[in-house]
């Protein structure tokens, strides 16, 4: 497996760890009632990080039926649920096993507190919003649409348009620190089927094959 796909797997590990953290923290402040709200919280967190030129969440978001949507968030949520770390029945929650795992990550979160602070900042504002309230708020946000090369409200963006890329290492001043030792958490967060799925997705992307979005 080449270095690019290794980077992709490391990004997937970080995404899973932070997705678990966001769900747990959001439920301590408010509630993650459903996938619609979770998608918006992750979108807002990643957008804020990109504005500050730091990289942690690495998702691609498209304008879909109910605003920003990432199929990758769905895939990671499904993977975490299959490991018994998250329950995505309403509300979406971290399981007891997942909470224990998050406790093991405390040192990692302290080392990467700049990223955790951004997530906490977003949750302090939006975790108490209802799904409909956060949907309405995000719909009215202005965003630069790369393909159209213009600033628009998200509500105005055509369905299926990419509105937020995963950030690149080159344009980021700071990146979530995950050394080789921590990468062993891949075995805890992702099962072998998920790893193979990621490798297949990488191969598909390289060959120009695209899969349809699947919602939970």
Predicted TM-score (pTM) of this structure? 0.83
Q: What is the pLDDT of residues 34-56, one digit of tens each?
A: 999 999 999 999 999 999 999 99
pLDDT bin (cut points 50, 70, 90) of residue 4 is very low
Are 34 and 178 in contact by the 8 Å Cβ rule? The answer is: no
Nearest to 80 by CA among 92, 68, 66, 64: 92
Nearest to 13 by CA among 204, 207, 181, 203: 181
Percent with pLDDT over 90 in the chain: 64
152 - beta bridge partners? 143
Domains in the chain: boundaries: 3-207
Q: What is the pLDDT of residues 109-121, one digit of tens each?
A: 999 999 999 999 9
Lowest mean pLDDT across 64-73, 100-109, 195-204: 195-204
């Amino acid at each position: 497996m080449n270095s690019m796909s290794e980077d992709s797997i490391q990004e997937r590990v970080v995404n899973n760890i932070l997705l678990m953290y966001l769900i747990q923290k959001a439920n301590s402040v408010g509630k993650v009632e459903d996938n619609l709200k979770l998608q918006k919280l992750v979108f807002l967190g990643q957008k804020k990080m990109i504005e500050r030129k730091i990289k942690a969440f690495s998702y691609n978001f498209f304008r879909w039926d109910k605003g920003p949507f990432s199929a990758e968030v769905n895939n990671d949520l499904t993977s975490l649920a299959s490991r018994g770390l998250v329950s995505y029945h309403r509300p979406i929650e971290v399981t007891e096993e997942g909470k224990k795992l998050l406790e093991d990550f405390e040192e990692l979160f302290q080392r990467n507190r700049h990223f955790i602070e951004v997530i906490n900042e977003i949750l302090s504002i939006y975790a108490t919003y209802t799904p409909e309230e956060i949907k309405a708020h995000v719909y009215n946000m202005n965003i630069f649409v790369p393909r159209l090369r213009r600033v628009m409200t998200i509500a105005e963006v055509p369905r299926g348009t990419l509105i937020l890329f995963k950030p690149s290492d080159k344009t980021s001043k700071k990146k979530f620190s995950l050394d080789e030792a921590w990468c062993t958490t891949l075995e805890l967060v992702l099962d072998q089927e998920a790893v193979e799925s990621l490798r297949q997705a990488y191969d598909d992307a390289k060959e120009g094959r695209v899969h349809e979005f699947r919602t939970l």
